Amino acid sequence: MELLERLTNAEIVCDQCGTKYGKRQYFQVEYQQANCQVCGKEDLCTGVSAYGYLGIGIALLMAKQDIRQQSKTVADYMNKLSDEEVSDIVEQIEDGITIALQLTEEELFALHDMLEYVEDNEEFELDEPCLSVISKVKELYGENANYSLSPAMKAYNEKYGTWGQSSTEDWIRWLGFRDAFEMLNNKTEE
């Protein structure tokens, strides 16, 4: 069973997993000796509500899955390009056209981690374009990156002030705001 599935299906959790994937809620809870439904270890466990239903871990894993799916979609598209189409793109780039990609800091870190995984696994045969992309993402990951906030994050900061992951409620409010913002903006572009 995958971690996301364990987190969403868990009813009881140990303190270590609860702290790792949720935020401790300050109300009286009862502990019982049981097997944690996240890590499987026998320990003192309590209901997942004591840790905000493990919402932070669930939200982060869902975001990571979304990024993986988006990356796969882009890779599938790129694999379907003919040699002629690739040559056209290369010519445009050589002529000074730049392709910009807006990523949140979290998306950049996730992309870095995914590319590092691909680079470290020998089952993938990496050609020069792949190695070049990995190198460029690693450069972005470092100190030379030119970061700017996504339009959704800018709008969120204007409405609510600077965002931090200080609570599950903040995280859930951000995810809802971001999804609504993107849906509204996608509607207006159609």
Question: Do residues 35 and 103 share a domain?
Answer: no
Under DSSP, the state recorded for 188 is H
For 20, 144, 147, 152, the CA distances from 107, given in Å and listed in that order, are 20, 17, 12, 14
Terminus-to-terminus CA distance in the chain, angstroms?
40
Question: Do residues 109 and 140 share a domain?
Answer: yes
What is the residue range of 156's domain?
Answer: 151-189
Rounded Cα distance, 86 and 60, in Å: 34
Q: Is the pLDDT of residue 185 over 90?
A: no
Residue with more model confidence, 102 or 2:
2
Q: Is the pLDDT of residue 146 over 60?
A: no
Residue with more model confidence, 1 or 156:
156
Q: Is the pLDDT of residue 189 over 50?
A: no
Question: Do residues 66 and 2 share a domain?
Answer: yes
> What local confidence, expressed as pLDDT, does residue 43 receive?
96
Tokens of 94: 């050589």
Number of separate domains in the chain: 3
Question: Across residues 3-26, what is the average pLDDT?
Answer: 91
Q: Over the Cα atoms of the chain, what is R_g? A: 21
